Structure 1
Amino acid sequence: MSHHHDLGPSEVGSVVLDLGGDRGALIIHTGRDLHGREIEISRVDLDGPRTHSAVRERHVRDGVFHSAVYPDLEAGVYTVWWDESTSAGAISVTGGSIAEFVWPTSSPARLD
């Protein structure tokens, strides 16, 4: 389920990532049109609850961009959810690393 939030910008140095061992992080890059929207992810190999993060405006040294950040994930392959039932793609998170996923610009084809 997707929710929307009114969130202020995230300033330089305000996000802490927990990297190391079997823990990694994921950054989903989006356009500003998704600002405030929650994006859900789930492990491909586990039938468990989804994790969500809100898209925020991020102020960094190189400028401003929009993204959802998942700072502490167990290593594995994750589904990124376009909506409640449609996958936007999959991404592998490796321990000690930051994985990056670019949000699709149009709705992915549904596999019904």
Structure 2
Amino acid sequence: MSRAAPFSLRLSEEERTRLEAQAGAMSLASYIKSVVLAEDAPRYRKRRTPSVAEQQLLAEVLARLGQSRTANNLNQIAKHLNQGTLVVNEELDADLKAALADVAWMRVTLMRALGVSS
């Protein structure tokens, strides 16, 4: 029987020490395989596939992100704020309010799409 390519598993020193103690006289690889491949090993649920409605909401958010310059505008505002060159005027105030409205809409829409209540 030919063997497949090795499987790598990164462990902290603590995790490895704990596994080695649990393995006792067994090799670490044999112990890990016996636990993972045991009939009574825990089964984890599959990832939930988003509904069509949820996918549409996510697509809406992505489309709005692609069309808006909100991220770039906020980045420029933060840059000027950090440099001490930010001039607050009516135009900036309106831009900030629009950005806040965009972010709030995205938050609510993403939460709806993910089935999370606010």
TM-score, structure 1 as length reference: 0.19
Bigger radius of gyration, 1 or 2?
2
The answer to which structure has the higher helix fraction is: 2
